[in-house]
Amino acid sequence: MALKTLISEERIQTRIAEIGAQIDIDYPDGTLYLICILKGACFFLSDLARAVKRDAFIEFMGISSYGKGKTSSGEVKITKDLDISLEGAHVLIVEDIIDSGVTLSYLTALLKTRRPKSVRIATLLDKPERRIRQVDVAYVGFRIPDEFVVGYGLDFAEKYRNLRDVCVLEQ
Ligand code: IMP
Ligand code: MG
C-alpha cells in the first residue's frame, strides 16, 4: 500500500489556528468542554486546544463504529464514557473525520440528553459525499473527496496514526 500526502502538516496547522480564533470569537462566557473522540482526534484536540485562547477544559471519550476494515459496521459503541457532568456547559465535540455521520449523529443526541447549554462539532476532515445521517457541523478543517485517509491521528487497522500529514492510502 502506498501513501500520498493529501494535506500537509503546514496546512493543517494554519487551518487549526483559524478555527481556534473562530472559537474564541464564537463562544460566550461559560464553561467550555472540548471533548476529544479517541483515538483519531488526539492530535487535532491537542493542537486545537492550544489554538483556543479562552478557558477550555479537555475531556476524552471513546467511541467505536468501525471494525478493523475501511467500512463502517454501522454500530456505535461507547468504549469510554465521560466522568464529568455536562449540565449547563458548552460542549464542543472534537472529531477526526465525518464519513457516514452515523457516529456523530448518535453521539450528539446522547450528549444533548445530559443538559448542556450547547453541543457543537469540530471535525478536522469531512467527506460530505458519504453522508447517510444528517449532522450539523460548526467547524470543518477540510472537505475531502471520498478516499480513505490516514495520518495525524487517523488509522488503518491502528497503523499510520503518527504520520504528521494526512495521506491517502492507496492499494
Ligand atoms: P462515520 O460514523 O461513518 O461518520 O465514521 C466516522 C469514523 O470512521 C471516524 O471517527 C473514523 O474513525 C472512521 N473513518 C472514516 N473515514 C475514515 C478514513 O478515511 N480514514 C480513517 N478513518 C476513517
Ligand atoms: Mg474516530
- Domain residues of the chain, as ranges? 9-21+30-147
9-21+30-147 placed in CATH 3.40.50.2020: yes
**Positions marked catalytic:** 99
Q: Is the beta carbon of 121 within 6 A of some atom in ligand 1? A: no
pLDDT of residue 64: 83
What is the rounded average pLDDT of the residues 55-70? 82
Question: pLDDT class for 57, splitting at 50, 70, 90?
Answer: very high
C-alpha–C-alpha distance, residues 78 and 16, integer Å: 27
Q: How many helices and strands in the chain, by DSSP H and E? A: 3, 9
Report the candidate in 57, 19, 17, 64 with the shortest Cα–Cα distance to residue 40: 64
- pTM metric for this prediction: 0.95
Ligand 1: residue of 78, 97, 150 to mutate (most ligand atoms within 8 A of CB) is 97
What is the rounded average pLDDT of the residues 96-118? 96
Average pLDDT, the chain: 94
Residues lying with their CB under 5 A of ligand 2, a single-atom ion = 40
Phi, psi for residue 43 in degrees, rounded to 5: -75, -35
Question: pLDDT class for 152, splitting at 50, 70, 90?
Answer: very high
Q: Is the beta carbon of 102 within 6 A of some atom in ligand 1? A: yes
152: region left, alpha or beta (phi > 0 left; psi from -120 to 50 alpha):
left
The least confident of 24-38, 59-73, 91-105, 141-155 is: 59-73
pLDDT of residue 68: 52
